[in-house]
Amino acid sequence: MTVSFIRASGEKGASFSMANYVFNFNECQDLTLVEIGSQKCDPLYSFGPFIRNEYIFHYIISGKGYVTNYRTANPLEIKAGEGFLIEPNCKHIYNADEKNPWHYIWIVFKGLTVHQYITSCGLSKDQPVYYPKSYDTQTAQKIKEHLFAILDSPHQTKPYILGHLHLFFDALILNASIQNMHTVNSPLSNIYLTEAVRYIRFHYKDISSVEEISEFCNVSRSHLTRLFKEYLHVSLQDYLIQYRLGKAQELLMNSDDSISEIAYQVGYQNETNFLRAFKKKCNVTPSQWRKERWNFPSNK
């Protein structure tokens, strides 16, 4: 498991009471944690406008603030015990209250079960705010406990981290004012999507084209791509690229292999193509990415 620790500040009104951990769990396809962070904001602290490729959920520990996305004409007030969801590729901006600025914990996550989990909490693009049934219950306390368990021990084992992530969503669903338990208890929406992800996981080094994946699943490429865009918010081709580059990042962090060796190990026969794809995704070269991660400060 690779965990990077970042302590940074720089947004408008930002407080230095901030911790941020980035995880590399690319092999976990149902639900995986990409990043977790905590911040006690200064009055009027603001962030954005910003766009990310994954889901982001902020849970408010104390105080209050306001969030605006492309679907909300006016800022939505959100206070302690509530939360807000930012979906992939959704431009957003949020800011702390002037007199009672919020302290929140955020998680960045992705996976095949994400759509089911957030729907079960009553969350959607049209309803991005999480409202609890009760603001002062044992279940509400458990929501915070599972988040703090990860924040306090980010270098624990993968089962520990992902176990608390699942339990966090369980507590979130149980205390949601709007629930859809049928959704969370249903199987994955489409067997084709599940089989395609599994095929990529085990054969990403050797896949020569996305048609190979759709043929394995016995479904058309166009239909499979529609499923990927609907549930994972990427095309089939982009998912394969992202998976390969995620594996490349693991090798950059955990080995001394050369860039050309890593390119070959993750399925690129041409190093130039690998460099181009990596820089497009990460905005830096593989060598720069490796150097930056090796120089991250320790949280110990």
Q: Given 184, 199, 233, which residue is the final one in a domain?
A: 184
Give the separation between CA 215 and CA 218, rounded to whole angstroms.
Answer: 5
Give the separation between CA 157 and CA 160, rounded to whole angstroms.
Answer: 5
Q: pTM of the predicted model, to two decimals?
A: 0.65
Q: Are residues 37 and 165 in the same domain?
A: yes
pLDDT digits (tens, 9 = 90+) for 165-212: 999 999 999 898 876 554 544 444 467 887 888 888 889 999 999 999
pLDDT digits (tens, 9 = 90+) for 243-285: 899 889 888 888 889 999 999 999 998 899 999 999 988 888 9
Indicate the number of domains in the chain.
2
Q: Are residues 172 and 197 in the same domain?
A: no
Instruction: Please classify residue 166 by burial: count the beta carbons closer than 10 Å to its beta carbon, then call 0-12 exposed, 13-18 middle and 19+ buried.
Output: middle
Helix axes 286-294, 271-282, angle to 10 degrees: 50
Q: Are residues 148 and 262 in the same domain?
A: no
Q: Are residues 41 and 175 in the same domain?
A: yes
Is residue 239 included in any domain, yes or no? yes
Q: Are residues 250 and 101 in the same domain?
A: no
Q: Are residues 261 and 164 in the same domain?
A: no
Give the separation between CA 121 and CA 127, rounded to whole angstroms.
Answer: 10
Q: The domain containing residue 245 runs over which residues? A: 191-294
Is residue 300 included in any domain, yes or no? no
Is residue 108 included in any domain, yes or no? yes
Say which residue the tokens 């992530």 belong to: 165
pLDDT digits (tens, 9 = 90+) for 234-249: 889 998 998 899 889 8
CATH number at residue 202: 1.10.10.60
Q: Given 151, 184, 217, which residue is the final one in a domain?
A: 184
With a pLDDT cut of 90, the percent of the chain lying above it is 39
Give the separation between CA 151 and CA 148, rounded to whole angstroms.
Answer: 5
